[in-house]
Chain A
Amino acid sequence: MRADLEEAKDERLAALAAGGDRGAFEALVTRHRQAVYRLCWSATGNAADADDAAQETFVRVYRSLPSYDPERPFGPWLRKIAWNCGLTVRRDGNAGVPKVAEGDAPEAVDPAPGPEEAAAGNEERRRMEDALAALPAELRMVMVLRAVEGLSYAEIAQAAGIPAGTVMSRLSRARTRLLTALGGGS
């Protein structure tokens, strides 16, 4: 990545990308791809759909850049698109969003456990993944945005289009269910 892009703020990169700078756009992709993927996974609950939705998110971001206002923060704007793409893929089942610009094979997501999977404590992680996948998307979303992305209630509320109080109650329900699934709880 170009050094000047590495340091630049999202909003600056978005403005450059809107002007046709592909390097700036790719810098945004690199910076946000994991968070976008996780949010899409929250919406869909499985890797294949999350992949579809994450790819589609960035294509739509690219298309929508000309209407993006760099005065507004980039993160919430991106999250809204990602969440919508995730819901779209989920609602549609595997028929999927990418109908227009196809040509991409669905990316194989490596099902084999990585070396770190062997480590102790990963059994809990795996159970947690299953439990999270089994949650309703709305609970999963708040959980991922809070516990993984570290967003505030206000930021989650904005991304989900719900009041902050609802964020708290959903988080509470999500954690209770996950704890039960983890086979613990006091």
Chain B
Amino acid sequence: MMDCRETQALLNAFHDGELPAAERARVEEHLRGCPECGALLADLARVDRAGGVPDPGPAYWDRFNARVMDRVGREADGPGVRVLRPKGGWMREQLRYLVPAAAAAALVLGIVHYGGMTPGVPAPVLTEERAAGVPREERDRLADRTPPARNEEATRERAAAAPTVAAPSPAPMMPYRSAPAGSPPVTAADGMRREMQAERKAMEGAPAMKREPQAAGMEKSASGMRMAKEPAEGAAPPPASLASAAAASASPCDLARTLAERERIRDAETAQRACLAGDLDAPSREKGLVFLAELLDRQARFSEADAVIAEVEKQYPPSRPLELYLQQRPMVQKEPEAVPVSR
């Protein structure tokens, strides 16, 4: 017959109905003659009955779906993040365009920035790419403009100004935007208009803004914005949503996160490398290297990721961020697109 020690070792599994029949019978036999172990079993049931997760209440659940559907709707309607996708293998399909498109974006921005494209000619890039190129004073101004009413006003001003300036630009990166086959072509100007409509809708629906002013980040931006190219003078002012995204991405480190969130993994990697080249404290560097490894994994560059991981193991043993990432890594490697980007 089992003794108390053996029984208690199996008590949780017994309570949870996870023991094979034979062991279960032995535990039952012991329990019949042992009130002490019986009391322990009753305690397990008591803990479980006490429940635990506080329910946020019916008012919360009443609003829950609407908030999700609102965000999902904005994603699907506005080209700012993504457009409706055809079924099946969408992301893999996109990646085929995304990587060359990102390279092209970098090239175009490089030409605008270094090649002396005539001032006054708007950069022929998409609004997202343009977000990275908001003039610094514009970013500073926007960073102060977080109250919704003022933001909305700013959005309207831009809504009036932007399309006329952006209209002449061809949109060489459309494959990245990728309307589904058969939809009418979308120009950069259309994209901006739709984006601003979505933005305005969002502003009207939002009771308050969650975003922080990011003032500290802006201070750093003087040295950190080398990643984000300055646009040609006179380029169209960007819509507020993207300007604020750029404001949030004031350092290459933040930019890398934002790009990764948008699944622009290759660009994120470039930004992350720039981030790591900067002056970071040890914990930031440790986390930054782990993030770089993840970005490499997401591009199926596993051996490069291995090298980065080896470096973290060597420099920061034992690394908690690495440990957390290694738990997720098999999943990331298996289906890089289905796993949310870790931060």
The chain A residues found within 8 Å of chain B, CB to CB, are: 18-20, 22, 25-26, 29-30, 33-34, 37-38, 41-42, 47, 51, 54-56, 58-60, 62-64, 66-68, 77, 80-81, 84-85, 87-88, 91-92, 95-107, 109-110, 114, 124-125, 127-129, 131-132, 143-144, 146-148, 152-153, 161, 168, 171-172, 175, 178-179, 182, 184-186
Tell whether, in the assembled complex, residue B53 and residue A38 are in contact, meaning their CB atoms are under 8 Å apart.
Answer: yes
**Tally of A-B Cβ pairs under 8 angstroms:** 207
Q: Which 8 A-B pairs have the closest CB atoms?
A: A186-B39, A66-B90, A128-B50, A103-B202, A132-B52, A147-B48, A105-B208, A110-B57
Residues of chain B from 1 to 29 with CB closer than 8 A to chain A in the complex: 11-13, 16, 18
Tell whether, in the assembled complex, residue A63 and residue B52 are in contact, meaning their CB atoms are under 8 Å apart.
Answer: no
Tell whether, in the assembled complex, residue B61 and residue A99 are in contact, meaning their CB atoms are under 8 Å apart.
Answer: no
Tell whether, in the assembled complex, residue B56 and residue A33 are in contact, meaning their CB atoms are under 8 Å apart.
Answer: no
Within 8 Å of chain A (Cβ to Cβ): is B206?
yes
A85 to B68, CA, bound (A): 15
Q: Which of B46, B64, B89, B90 contacts A182 (CB 8 A)?
A: B46
Q: Which of B39, B50, B68, B339 contacts A59 (CB 8 A)?
A: B68
Within 8 Å of chain A (Cβ to Cβ): is B181?
no
Q: A171-B16, A179-B43 given as contacts; is B338 within 8 A of A67 (CB)?
A: yes
A110 to B331, CA, bound (A): 36
Residues on B with beta carbons closer than 8 Å to the beta carbon of A42: 53
Tell whether, in the assembled complex, residue B324 and residue A60 are in contact, meaning their CB atoms are under 8 Å apart.
Answer: no
Within 8 Å of chain A (Cβ to Cβ): is B305?
no
A185 to B261, CA, bound (A): 46
A186 to B208, CA, bound (A): 50
Residues on B with beta carbons closer than 8 Å to the beta carbon of A144: 52-53
Residues on B with beta carbons closer than 8 Å to the beta carbon of A124: 50
Q: Is chain B's binding surface mostly helix, strand, loop or mixed?
A: helix
Q: Is chain A's binding surface mostly helix, strand, loop or mixed?
A: helix
Tell whether, in the assembled complex, residue B52 and residue A84 are in contact, meaning their CB atoms are under 8 Å apart.
Answer: no
Tell whether, in the assembled complex, residue B340 and residue A101 are in contact, meaning their CB atoms are under 8 Å apart.
Answer: no
Q: A67-B335, A103-B205, A148-B51 given as contacts; is B72 within 8 A of A59 (CB)?
A: yes
Sampled A-B contacts (24; CB under 8 Å): A30-B65, A51-B56, A59-B68, A66-B89, A66-B90, A66-B91, A85-B340, A88-B341, A88-B343, A97-B340, A100-B258, A103-B203, A103-B205, A103-B206, A104-B67, A109-B56, A110-B56, A127-B50, A147-B51, A168-B12, A175-B12, A178-B47, A179-B46, A184-B43
Closest chain A CB from B14 CB (angstroms):
11
Closest chain A CB from B16 CB (angstroms):
6
Within 8 Å of chain A (Cβ to Cβ): is B160?
no
Q: Which of A60, A102, A127, A186 contacts B209 (CB 8 A)?
A: A102
Q: A67-B337, A101-B81, A106-B210 given as contacts; is B74 within 8 A of A33 (CB)?
A: no
**Chain B: interface residue total (CB-CB under 8 A):** 77
A102 to B51, CA, bound (A): 33
Tell whether, in the assembled complex, residue A100 and residue B50 are in contact, meaning their CB atoms are under 8 Å apart.
Answer: no
Residues on B with beta carbons closer than 8 Å to the beta carbon of A92: 343
Tell whether, in the assembled complex, residue A67 and residue B87 are in contact, meaning their CB atoms are under 8 Å apart.
Answer: no
Within 8 Å of chain A (Cβ to Cβ): is B30?
no
Within 8 Å of chain A (Cβ to Cβ): is B166?
no
Q: Which of B57, B75, B202, B330 contacts A63 (CB 8 A)?
A: B75
What residue of chain A has the Cβ atom nearest to residue B248's Cβ? A99
A161 to B208, CA, bound (A): 38
Within 8 Å of chain A (Cβ to Cβ): is B226?
no
Name, among A20, A63, A103, A105, the residue most crowded by chain B CB atoms within 10 Å (CB to CB).
A103
Residues on B with beta carbons closer than 8 Å to the beta carbon of A63: 75, 82
Within 8 Å of chain A (Cβ to Cβ): is B245?
yes
A184 to B40, CA, bound (A): 10
Closest chain B CB from A120 CB (angstroms):
13
Residues on A with beta carbons closer than 8 Å to the beta carbon of B111: none
Within 8 Å of chain A (Cβ to Cβ): is B282?
no
Residues of chain B from 81 to 99 with CB closer than 8 A to chain A in the complex: 81-82, 84-92
Residues on B with beta carbons closer than 8 Å to the beta carbon of A107: 56, 60, 63-64, 67
What residue of chain A has the Cβ atom nearest to residue B335's Cβ? A67
A3 to B84, CA, bound (A): 26
Closest chain B CB from A117 CB (angstroms):
10
Residues on A with beta carbons closer than 8 Å to the beta carbon of B150: none
A85 to B342, CA, bound (A): 8
Within 8 Å of chain A (Cβ to Cβ): is B303?
no
Residues of chain B from 207 to 258 with CB closer than 8 A to chain A in the complex: 207-212, 245, 248, 257-258
Tell whether, in the assembled complex, residue B338 and residue A171 are in contact, meaning their CB atoms are under 8 Å apart.
Answer: no
